Every structure is written in C-alpha cells, then in structure tokens.
Amino acid sequence: MKIRPYSVLCCMALLVLSACSLCDQERISDTTSPDGSLTATVVYIGCGAITKDATWVTLHRKGDKYDRSNEIVFSTVQQQQVDVSWKDASHLSIYCHCHDDDVRFQVTKKGNIKISYN
C-alpha cells in the first residue's frame, strides 16, 4: 500500500483541527479559600460567531486545571463582571453585576462548600 503525501497532510490537518478549541478562554481572577485548598476562578469564554460568549466561575483544587466543565458552579451569558469572595473555608460568595435573565447555571453546594449569590 502506497501512502501519498497529500493523504498524510490531510490526516495531520484533521488531527490539529480536532484538537483545537473554537472558543477562547481568558482567566480573569483566582480567589483561594482561607485554608488554601480550593480556588474559585472567574473565566471569560469567547466563541465568536459560533455561540454566545459566557462567564464561568469554576471551583477546583488549588493547582488543578481551572477550565473543566464539571467544575463550573456558576455561568452567565456574555462576559459579565463577577466578584468572588470566601466567607470562610466552607462558604463561597458570588456576586454578578448582571441581570437574573443572564444567569444560565448556578449551584448552591459543591461537595462541602456552600455557595451563596448576592
């Protein structure tokens, strides 16, 4: 079986394209819990014309990846100003400078962390 250079180039291009995300992510802020074990990260997601932009807050172990979808505790449409603070090691407070209609997802508890919204 003869392998053609064109076929190799096409396969390489498909691999590169499938590995690329069509959305840009911008890490806005990290807020570490008082005990230093968890981090709440605000992330702007920009997908251009493909879909609406979004703002995420993820809750993850300090040093872990901040952009995993299973770590999202809050999400809005568009890029919103979001303030995150820790009341103590088990209480996270999230304040979004947005309308209630902009909120797409929010949880009030993740593991042993209680999350309040203002």
Residues with Cβ within 8 Å of 2's Cβ and at least 6 positions away in sequence, in order, are none
pLDDT tens string 31-71? 999 999 999 999 999 987 777 899 999 999 988 888 888 99
- Percent of residues, the chain, with pLDDT higher than 90: 64
46 has which bridge partners?
24
**AA identity, residue 48:** G
The token duo for 36 is 């230093």
Positive/negative CA dihedral, 19, 23, 27, 32:
negative
pTM: 0.78
pLDDT value at residue 7: 35
How many Å is the Cα radius of gyration of the chain?
A: 19
In this structure, are residues 40 and 62 in contact, taking their beta carbons and an 8 Å threshold?
no
Give the 3-state secondary structure of residue 94.
strand
DSSP 52: -
Residue 116 has pLDDT above 70, yes or no: yes
Closest CA to 94 of 78, 86, 77, 45: 86
